[in-house]
Amino acid sequence: MFAITPNTLSTFMNSISKYIVLLSLLLIGIAAFLIIFIENDYYQGISFKIMFIHVPAAWLSLAIFLAMGISSIIGLIFKSPTAFTIARSLSPIGLIMSIVVLVTGSIWGNLTWGAYWVWDARLTSMLILAFIYLGHILLLYSFEHFQKADFAASILAIIGMVNLPIVKFSVDWWTTLHQGSSVLRIGGPSMTNDYLITLLVSFLGIFMLTMYWFSNIFYIIIEKRKIMRSKLLND
Amino acid sequence: MHIIKLNKQIKKRFIFLLIIFICFSSSIFLISYSLKDQIAYFVEPTDLKGMNELENKYLRVGGLVKENSLKFIDGSWVFEVIDQNKNSISVVFSKTLPNLVEEKKGIIVEGKLINNTFIAEIVLAKHDENYMPQSAIDKLKEEGKWRGD
């Protein structure tokens, strides 16, 4: 990561991005097929099928923040522009994912619990995660020099990592209206295999889509910088 | 010579970040630990036994709807909320129940305890993390492994 320049990474991701997007569309297509044809839950009926968007988006919003935090640490310690640019291009995707989680969760909550929103630990910590993403993006664009912005935003990403275990384990540490974890939990998954496979296919599809999106944002940032640099040189 | 200098700087930055992270995480830990009763979304009927001055206090109580207790009497729903320790409270609710409220399923009631009866203003259904199609349940029932209702 220290030897790779942002340019080489951008070129490499650009060369494989079309295969990634094809793979993601294929996986999302399979997932959509599976979601339509699997049986409804015995208790919640059809409304539980929103889980196959809600849960992948939730995993990704946490995983993207983790990746952002780790690349911010690497960026700050080793002064690596590649790591900073990775963190910079991840945060808009994370924000969208956390908004997807909140919106699909509200719809699902209204259908099952009978309320769009409650202030329990899981929902509140997830809202805080979305606000940290928003703060990260705002910090990135509130400085004239992107190096300063990267420094400030990295500190926020590192501090914000404190929130990740709180989001993940809030349902175990405190009583919440939100149900506990179904897949990543002690004692194995608490759903039948057909649901689990559908969930994993859907997750992989959305994950590949975010990777494609990530490579595009990365590419745009690098190209913008090139244009800015050539403009400065010409003036 | 140059490499040694760089390593020193890297170490310095690492320690700087470590201190920031430890300070923030410990402060968040202390805040959430001292507020843990407020962060908890509901209490169980067992917890109510150890609490004083319950009358007219706005509470959220969660548990399961007791078997054969859900009834519609004089325009309002009457049921009992029971927890794992078999402690229960009786609840009166005069609005429409959420769709998923069923006997032996999770529920959270919000309101006040008046004369040992819980007058609920909001009722929320709490479903658990188990997802299963009806066919899987039928299969489990055939094998005699089903432990639900």
* ipTM of predicted complex: 0.86
- Chain B contacts to A (CB-CB under 8 A): 10, 13-14, 17, 20-21, 24-25, 28, 32, 36, 39-44, 62, 97-100, 102, 105, 108, 122-137
Q: What average pLDDT is seen over chain A?
A: 93
pLDDT digits 0-9 by tens, B33-60: 898 888 889 999 888 888 877 777 888 9
In chain B, which residue's Cα lies nearest the Cα of A48?
B131
Residues from chain A contacting residue B127 (CB–CB below 8 Å) = 43-44, 112-113, 179
What's the pLDDT at B51?
80
Phi, psi (deg, nearest 5) at residue B100: -90, 5
pLDDT of residue A26: 97
Q: Band of the pLDDT at B5, cuts 50, 70, 90?
A: low
pLDDT value, residue B1: 46
- Find, among B129, B42, B45, the residue nearest to A174 by Cα: B42
Say how far apart CA B5 and CA B10 lie, in whole Å: 9
* Model confidence at A161: pLDDT above 70: yes
Q: Closest partner residue to A76 among B17, B124, B137, by Cβ?
A: B17
Verify whether the Cβ–Cβ distance A112 to B14 is below 8 Å: no
Going by pLDDT thresholds of 50, 70 and 90, the confidence category of residue B149 is low
What mean pLDDT is predicted for residues A55-75? 96
pLDDT recorded at residue A197 = 94
Taking the domains of chain B in order of start, what are their residue ranges? 2-38, 40-126
| CA pair distance B55, B49, nearest whole angstrom | 12
Q: Alpha-carbon distance A199 to A31, whole Å? A: 8
Interface test with B, best of A167, A183, A186, A192 (most B CBs within 10 A): A192
Residues 6+ apart with CB under 8 A from A140: A88, A91, A146, A149, A150, A153
pLDDT tops 70 at residue A2: no
Strand bridging mode B106-114 / B76-82: unpaired
* Alpha helices per DSSP H over A38-145: 51-78, 81-112, 121-140
Q: Is the pLDDT of residue A115 over 80?
A: yes
pLDDT band at A213 (very low <50, low <70, confident <90, very high): very high
Distance between CA atoms of residues A80 and A74, nearest Å = 7
3-class secondary-structure state, position A141: coil
pLDDT at B148 over 70: no
- For B40-126, CATH number? 2.40.50.140
Q: To which residue do tokens 């078997």 refer?
A: B67
Question: CA–CA separation, A120 vs A178, rounded Å?
Answer: 8
> What SS3 state is found at A199?
helix
pLDDT in the model for residue A19: 95
Three-state SS at A125:
helix
Tell me the two tokens of residue A104.
Answer: 């699909």
**Better-predicted residue by pLDDT, B129 or A105:** A105
Q: Are B75 and B19 in contact (CB under 8 A)?
A: no
Cβ B124–A113 below 8 Å, yes or no?
A: yes
Take residue A95 and report the two structure tokens written for it: 């924000």
**Helical packing angle, A51-78 and A163-173, nearest 10°:** 140
